[in-house]
């Protein structure tokens, strides 16, 4: 197989801590080139064989390359959001999980499956929310607000999760924060400021926020979205709540990745404008043939586009690296066992809460009254 030279992208993201060493930091992403058709077919065949030989299963996020989504499903794995990826990996009999996504997803899988081997195509694939919320600075923020229940989003390191009382994903955040609010809890929220303020508007909870953001969703533009709506007046607008408030305000439906898929399936429309990572378009179009999907604009007069609606770190996942890590066992994720045990508590609380909702049990009963958290 011919050697390929990856494209290295410099990525800017805002560092939220005032007075920190720098306000804006740089990271980089190494994006693998597309393999030629023959090489692509050979890599897929090799991965299929290796998955069987290594007792392994692929779990892929909706934002990674379509090849990694299709191959996961064709081989009995899963394409989903970060929570379902971790839950599926925990419950699947395979002893090796190949997680295509970004690092916190591999860590969450390892925390839920500490006795399994978790491999990732590229360990440098990260997330601006994770990068912008270092555990020591976050811990100091928590110490400054000792009267608040700490709720963190899934897009955080194991060390930040270990400092939390509750973990949430965008699909269950409103229900959990509302239940906490009803029991008298004041909330410390991290790291995504847009998702946090959306939840506050929806629940009325007393919340203080860490000031992080997703470099992809932060770039959607309300002014340009209104212009696109005028071009497609019949289209419904689907928005991920990591987007800015003025973009969320234009939505016909606001939801997580799974919420957006559900809305596209169930809403009475054949055209949609979608404000989330454009990796989602593959699943949306596959599941909804005959419907039209347009990407919400990240460009325009106010653009400072860093992402062009596709996460540069999600783009680091490629077929060649999946084959390589299965072949060699490289890129294994390790989480300190004591840290993992502590980080598991807020995850297990969330899983118990969402399982209760699914079974029609009173999930609010799982939330302690204030003072007992």
List contacts with ligand SF4 (CB under 6 A). 63, 102, 127-129, 155, 214-216, 277, 311, 313-314
Smaller CB distance to ligand SF4: residue 185 or 196?
Answer: 196
Smaller CB distance to ligand SF4: residue 89 or 241?
Answer: 241
Q: What's the CA gap between 161 and 167, in Å, rounded? A: 7
H/E element, 248? helix 245-248
Give the DSSP per-residue string, 289-353: TT-EEEEPP--STT---SSTTS-TTGGG--HHHHHHHHHH--SB----HHHHHHHHHHHHHHHHH
- What is the signed CA dihedral for 11, 14, 17, 20, rounded to 10 degrees? 50
Smaller CB distance to ligand SF4: residue 112 or 314?
Answer: 314
Smaller CB distance to ligand SF4: residue 103 or 163?
Answer: 103
Within 8 A by CB and 6+ apart from 135, the residues are: 157, 159, 160, 162, 163
Give the shortest CB-209-to-ligand SF4 separation in angstroms: 16
| Number of Cβ within a 10 Å radius of residue 144 | 10
Give the shortest CB-143-to-ligand SF4 separation in angstroms: 26
Bridge partners of 273, per DSSP, are 237, 294
| Rg value, the chain, Cα | 20
Smaller CB distance to ligand SF4: residue 126 or 185?
Answer: 126
Smaller CB distance to ligand SF4: residue 43 or 215?
Answer: 215
Q: What's the CA gap between 222 and 56, in Å, rounded? A: 43
Give the shortest CB-241-to-ligand SF4 separation in angstroms: 11
Give the shortest CB-215-to-ligand SF4 separation in angstroms: 5
Q: What's the CA gap between 320 and 68, in Å, rounded? A: 11
Give the shortest CB-307-to-ligand SF4 separation in angstroms: 7
Contact 167, 154 (CB under 8 A): yes
Smaller CB distance to ligand SF4: residue 149 or 276?
Answer: 276
Give the shortest CB-138-to-ligand SF4 separation in angstroms: 16
Give the shortest CB-80-to-ligand SF4 separation in angstroms: 14
Bridge partners of 219, per DSSP, are none
């Amino acid at each position: 197989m011919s050697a390929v030279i990856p494209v290295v992208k410099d990525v800017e993201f805002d560092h939220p801590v005032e007075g920190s060493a720098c306000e804006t930091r740089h990271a980089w992403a190494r994006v693998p080139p597309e393999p030629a058709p023959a090489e692509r077919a050979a890599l897929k065949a090799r991965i299929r064989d290796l998955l069987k030989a290594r007792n392994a299963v692929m779990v892929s996020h909706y934002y990674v390359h379509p090849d990694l989504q299709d191959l996961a499903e064709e081989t009995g794995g899963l394409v989903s959001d970060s929570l379902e990826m971790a839950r599926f990996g925990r419950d699947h009999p395979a002893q090796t999980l190949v997680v295509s996504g970004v690092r916190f997803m591999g860590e969450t899988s390892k925390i839920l499956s500490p006795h399994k081997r978790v491999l990732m195509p590229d360990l440098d694939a990260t997330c601006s929310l994770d990068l912008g919320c270092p555990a020591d600075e976050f811990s100091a923020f928590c110490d400054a607000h000792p009267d608040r229940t700490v709720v963190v989003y899934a897009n955080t390191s194991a060390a930040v999760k270990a400092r939390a009382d509750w973990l949430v994903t965008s699909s269950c955040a409103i229900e959990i924060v509302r239940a906490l609010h009803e029991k008298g809890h004041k909330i410390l929220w991290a790291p995504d400021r847009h998702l946090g303020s959306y939840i506050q508007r929806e629940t009325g909870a007393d919340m203080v926020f860490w000031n992080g953001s997703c470099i992809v969703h932060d770039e959607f533009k309300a002014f340009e979205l209104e212009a696109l709506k005028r071009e497609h007046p019949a289209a419904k607008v689907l928005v991920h709540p990591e987007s800015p408030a003025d973009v969320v305000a234009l939505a016909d439906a606001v939801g997580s990745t799974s919420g957006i898929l559900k809305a596209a399936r169930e809403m009475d429309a054949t055209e949609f404008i979608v404000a989330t990572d454009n990796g989602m378009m593959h699943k949306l179009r596959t599941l909804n043939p005959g419907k039209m999907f347009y990407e919400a604009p990240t460009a325009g007069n106010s653009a400072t586009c860093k992402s062009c609606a596709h996460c540069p770190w999600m783009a680091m996942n490629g077929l060649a690296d999946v084959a390589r890590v299965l072949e060699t066992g490289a890129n294994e994720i390790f989480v300190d066992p004591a840290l993992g045990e502590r980080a598991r508590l807020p995850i297990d609380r969330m899983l118990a809460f969402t399982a209760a909702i699914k079974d029609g049990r009173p999930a609010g009963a799982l939330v302690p009254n204030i003072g007992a958290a």
